[in-house]
């Protein structure tokens, strides 16, 4: 896929976003599109930037470590996949936003390493809103109990929530997942205050529905870059 096709895909995505936003009374310019480049080479990621994407996302630290230095001009990089604590330091060095913070212990590790390398990193808290055992994320029933502990950690910008809708054709299940995350988001805003304003929901198959529930960060891979050769994973599609 060349730059011209990526440009066309981005235009189509933005048209769909605008239509949905106007229906919902939302400013389309408030929506951040994160192009998910996992499994695509650095050349394709650079084409995405040339086509107008300011944000790109990767799933794995190991893959990002090779790719990120090759992508110019540098976009804002999001980590959207599960982060193991032993890779925290490298993740902070590579990424600007870590969307997949799924435990108090991981938040503490990021805070500690951020202080050591003197880089303040933006984090989103991942919520397992579909209660699927194979997914990472805070249990929706526990996250509110931990917010006070997380919000006081130094060297972090606690900026929002992220969730992954269930991989299903049952739109009602997806709606419940998004609605629950939005409810938690609204409650946490009152606790954290200014700066907590990102709601990352929606991938290539459900981003228009996510917009109906207030998503303002969309993680889109195949809708922009086309089908992957390898199997689609569940964090950014």
Residue 233 has pLDDT above 50, yes or no: no
Count of CB atoms situated within 10 Å of the CB of 130: 21
Mean pLDDT of 87-109: 98
Residue 133 has pLDDT above 90, yes or no: no
Q: Which contiguous run of DSSP H or E holds residue 74?
A: none
What confidence score (pLDDT) does residue 134 get? 80
From start to end of 17-167, where are the E strands?
32-36, 55-58, 76-79, 97-101, 121-127, 156-163
Q: Which SS3 state, helix, strand or coil, does residue 122 take?
A: strand
Looking at per-residue confidence, does 170 or 229 come out higher?
Answer: 170
Q: Which SS3 state, helix, strand or coil, does residue 108 take?
A: helix
What confidence score (pLDDT) does residue 204 get? 95
- Nearest 5°: the CA angle 173, 177, 181 is 165
Count of CB atoms situated within 10 Å of the CB of 49: 20
pLDDT in tens, 143-159: 999 999 999 999 999 99
Residue pair 153/160 in contact (Cβ under 8 Å)? The answer is no
What confidence score (pLDDT) does residue 237 get? 67
Count of CB atoms situated within 10 Å of the CB of 21: 18
What confidence score (pLDDT) does residue 235 get? 56
Q: What is the DSSP secondary structure assignment for residue 226, as one 8-state letter? A: -
Mean pLDDT of the chain: 94
Distance separating alpha carbons of residues 40 and 215, to the nearest angstrom: 25
Residue 121 has pLDDT above 80, yes or no: yes
Distance separating alpha carbons of residues 145 and 95, to the nearest angstrom: 28
Confidence of residue 132 (pLDDT cuts 50, 70, 90): confident
What confidence score (pLDDT) does residue 231 get? 44
pLDDT in tens, 45-56: 999 999 999 999
Sequential DSSP letters for 165-199 = --SSS-HHHHHHHHHHHHHHHHHHHHHH-TT--EE
Mean pLDDT of 75-100: 97
Residue 236 has pLDDT above 70, yes or no: no
Distance separating alpha carbons of residues 62 and 60, to the nearest angstrom: 5
Confidence of residue 182 (pLDDT cuts 50, 70, 90): very high
Question: What Cα–Cα distance (Å) separates residue 74 from each residue in 45, 69, 94?
Answer: 10, 8, 11
Mean pLDDT of 79-85: 96
What is the CATH topology of the domain spanning 3-225? Answer: TIM Barrel (3.20.20)
Looking at per-residue confidence, does 232 or 187 come out higher?
Answer: 187
- Residue in 146, 127, 143, 125 with CA at minimum distance from that of residue 135: 127
Lowest mean pLDDT among 76-80, 154-158, 172-176, 228-232: 228-232
Confidence of residue 162 (pLDDT cuts 50, 70, 90): very high
């Amino acid at each position: 896929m060349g730059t011209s096709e990526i440009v066309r895909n981005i235009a189509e995505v933005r048209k769909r976003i605008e239509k949905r936003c106007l229906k919902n009374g939302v400013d389309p310019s408030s929506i951040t599109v994160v192009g998910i480049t996992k499994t695509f080479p650095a050349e394709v990621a650079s084409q995405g930037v040339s086509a107008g994407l300011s944000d790109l996302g990767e799933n794995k630290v190991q893959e990002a470590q090779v790719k990120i230095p090759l992508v110019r001009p540098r976009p804002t990089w999001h980590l959207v996949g599960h982060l193991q604590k032993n890779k925290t330091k490298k993740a902070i060095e590579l990424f600007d936003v870590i969307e997949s913070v799924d435990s108090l212990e991981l938040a503490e590790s990021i805070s500690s390493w951020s202080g050591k390398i003197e880089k303040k990193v933006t984090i989103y808290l991942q919520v397992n809103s579909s209660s699927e055992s194979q997914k990472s994320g805070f249990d929706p029933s526990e996250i509110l109990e931990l917010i006070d502990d997380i919000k006081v950690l130094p060297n972090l910008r606690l900026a929002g929530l992220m969730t992954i809708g269930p991989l299903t054709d049952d739109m009602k299940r997806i709606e419940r997942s998004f609605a629950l995350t939005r409810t938690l988001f609204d409650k946490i805003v009152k606790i954290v205050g200014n700066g907590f304003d990102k709601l990352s929901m929606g991938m290539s198959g459900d981003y228009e529905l996510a917009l109906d529930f207030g998503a303002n960060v969309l993680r889109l891979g195949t809708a922009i870059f086309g089908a992957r050769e390898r199997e689609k994973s569940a964090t950014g599609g």
